[in-house]
Structure 1
Amino acid sequence: MFSYRHAFHAGNHADVLKHTTLIAMLRHLLQKDTALTVFDTHAGAGLYRLDGEYAETSGEAANGFLKLLTFINTPPAPAKKPSAAAKSIAEGLAPVIKDYMDLVASFNNKGSHKVYPGSPFIIQRLLGERDKLKLFEIHPTDTKTLAANIAQLEAGRQVAVLREDGFEGIKKFLPPPARRALVLSDPSYEIKNDYARVVAMVADSLVRFATGTYAVWYPIIPRPEAHDVPRKLKTLATKSGKKWLNATLTVKSSKLTADEAGDVIRPGLPASGMFIINPPHTLKAALQLALPQLAEILGQDQHATSTVESGG
């Protein structure tokens, strides 16, 4: 159960979607004076080196954050018949994409892009003095690395690192003292029952604290459990009378291909989504502008696309 390491995937297209959405949510939620408690149920190591062994082994950042960075620095020549997204990019990158890029840059020396912040560091960078951050991580190595990384912030009691199963550990903290919370859950889904557990966690959390904002990242892959996540969360939100938003980013086809020898080539992660219950009212418009641009820039074939749905 401990084979998954997010360091292999840091800065990939799924991180771009997740972190762009996360920043957009936090910018809105942190405008209020009342303290906010943020929970990250699967925190990982917190900081990652894009020139490190893990990231370079997978090379996934090259088709995610680094591809976005290259595009911004050297945009391609306009096509003869540019798409609507391309025309939008020509008029300027969406504010939430700029915000995301600026925040990642703030963790690096000028001109360098070797450090990629995970969700814990993105969240902490944006919090005010009264806000709190609870980080759950059960992987023994990542927990130690996360604790060491967080210690460098000298954030005191603002940030707590808990070596616990986030699905269960969060229960004792809801509702939070100030009754304002954002819960981010992005399990690896390496274990098959993570799909069911993330839905069960949100269902339990809504009973404990109905007005919290709940954000779930999920992979979009050819297996029924993955497709069940947004469907079940939508049903849960609807039955609870809560507003919801579902945003997806697809960068390539999910179909299997074969090489010259006839061996099957698996495409890797082709798409992912963010499902939010009780989303900030500003989020939909922000993502409707940003996600088509991300699909245009990060797309690897003609199947690249994005969606933003909402209800409630």
Structure 2
Amino acid sequence: MNYRHAFHAGNHADVLKHVTLLALCDALTAKPTPCFALDTHAGVGLYRLQGDKARKTAESDDGIARLRRGDDPLLKRYLAAVAACRTEHGADAYPGSPWLLAHALREQDRIACCELHPEDAAALAANLADDPRVAVHARDGYAAIKALLPPRLGEQRFARGLVLIDPPFEAQLDEFDHALAALRTALERWPQGMFALWYPIKQARALHPFYRSAALLQAKSALRIELCVRADDSPLRLNGSGMLILNAPWQFDARIAPTLRVLESQLADPSGARGWTRLDWLRAPA
């Protein structure tokens, strides 16, 4: 309950997470049938990069502030979403995942956002109060997976959709066990859904047990997307982050690969400490 995302908004991990999230949303909306999105650790949905919390860490200086416009379509998509947020909310605004979901999905789609921190849950509800498609739940996001999946609205059931799990990792490596358990439950209840888990990278070698467990999940596929902006040999700072995508859209790896290379180039630590990217299948699609 101590973690507040406002201190980290717009950092390199947010960039990777939100570029990936928007690409997944675009894959969902490519088909006309309604879809559902669940954000299990939603935060407040909207941040101020010049606010006291954000400037205390200044992490956005090494994230969104470093990005340059170019020809990569997924990067352009992300920067356009940030620009739209700033047009609506001011020049220092940064959109969290609930805001991005609400603006990427359509009128026929539905979104559920969970936030356990009382103040953040209230702020999230206020930030999304004008959107009837969005339901805000002041509750534990892991527990909500069992309650809200498979998704339905009255008589309507959603065959397609996305669950974003973005925990604070206050419990360090133990958080992976909680996230994996949640993914097992989610797959049992909604096997056709897409699932995206964000995770931090401090020392990559510590993540091997997680990789082995993720490969055994009963999903059709498990895609690993990772970006480190510096060498992954320090447990004291966030050197990079990853996204585990279960049941990824067709050819999603090929679509995001060029963007990952662009992010590696633009977000590299200026000190010269070498970063890296990784894009591979822990469980390849059949």
Q: TM-score, normalised by structure 1?
A: 0.83
Give 1:123's aligned amino acid: L
Aligned to 1:10: 9
CA deviations over 1:186-236 (Å, ceiling 9, x no partner): 101112432211100101111111111010000112387644333321221
The residue type paired with residue 185 of structure 2 is D
Whether the 8 Å contact between 1:249 and 1:295 is mirrored in structure 2 is yes
1:64 matches 2:35: no
Larger Rg: 1
Partner of 2:278: 307
Aligned equivalent of 1:229, options 210, 215, 219: 210
Mapped pair 1:197 → 2:207: no
Q: Is the 8 A contact 2:219 2:246 kept in 1?
A: no
- CA contact 2:219–2:247 (8 Å) conserved in 1: no
Unaligned runs of 5+ in 1: 73-91, 257-265
Task: Provide the residue aligned with 2:224 in structure 1.
Answer: 246
Query: Does the aligned pair in 2 maintain the 1:292–1:305 contact within 8 Å?
Result: no
TM superposition shift of 1:267: 5.5
Greater mean alpha carbon deviation, residues 118-127 or residues 164-173:
164-173
1:39 is the counterpart of 2:64: no
**1:284 matched to which residue of 2?**
253
Instruction: Find the residue that maps to 1:170 and give its secondary structure.
Output: helix
Contact 2:202 2:236 in 1 (8 A): no
Take 2:206 and 2:251, find their aligned partners in 1: how far apart are those partners? Answer: 30
Deviations 1:22-57 (A, max 9, x none): 000110111112111100000001100000001100
Q: Which amino acid aligns with 1:11?
A: G
Q: Percent identity?
A: 38
How far apart are residue 244 of structure 1 and its match?
1.8
Q: What are the superposed Cα offsets for residues 281-304 of structure 1, whole Å, 9 maximum, x if unpaired?
A: 142112110011101110013421
Is the Cα–Cα contact under 8 Å of residues 43 and 119 in structure 1 kept in the other structure?
Answer: yes
Whichever residue aligns with residue 286 of structure 1, its letter is R
Contact 1:195 1:226 in 2 (8 A): no
Q: Which residue of 2 is the match for residue 273 of structure 1?
A: 242
Residue equivalent to 1:210: 191
Say yes or no: does 1:122 pair with 2:122: no
Say whether residues 1:29 and 2:28 are aligned partners.
yes
Structure 2 unaligned segments of length 5 or more: list them: 152-156
> Does the CA-based 8 Å contact 1:220-1:271 persist in structure 2?
yes
Match of residue 144 from structure 1: 122
Partner residue of 2:154?
none
Contact 1:221 1:269 in 2 (8 A): yes
- Structure 1 residue 67: Cα displacement: 1.1
CA contact (8 A) 1:19 1:119 kept: yes
Asked whether the equivalents of residues 48 and 54 of structure 2 are also in contact (C-alpha less than 8 Å), the reply is yes
CA contact (8 A) 1:28 1:282 kept: no
Equivalent residue for 1:298? 267
CA distance in 2, matches of 1:197, 1:245: 19
1:63-94 Cα offsets, whole Å, 9 max, x none, are 000111xx44xxxxxxxxxxxxxxxxxxx431
Q: Which residue of structure 2 aligns with residue 20 of structure 1?
A: 19
What SS does the aligned partner of 1:195 have?
Answer: helix
| Distance in 2 between residues matched to 1:268 and 1:93, nearest whole Å | 31
Contact 1:14 1:271 in 2 (8 A): yes
Q: What aligned pairs does 1:87-166 form with structure 2 within 5 A after superposition?
A: 92-109=70-87, 113-151=91-129, 154-156=130-132, 158-166=133-141
Residue 168 in structure 1 maps to residue 143 in structure 2: yes
RMSD: 1.8
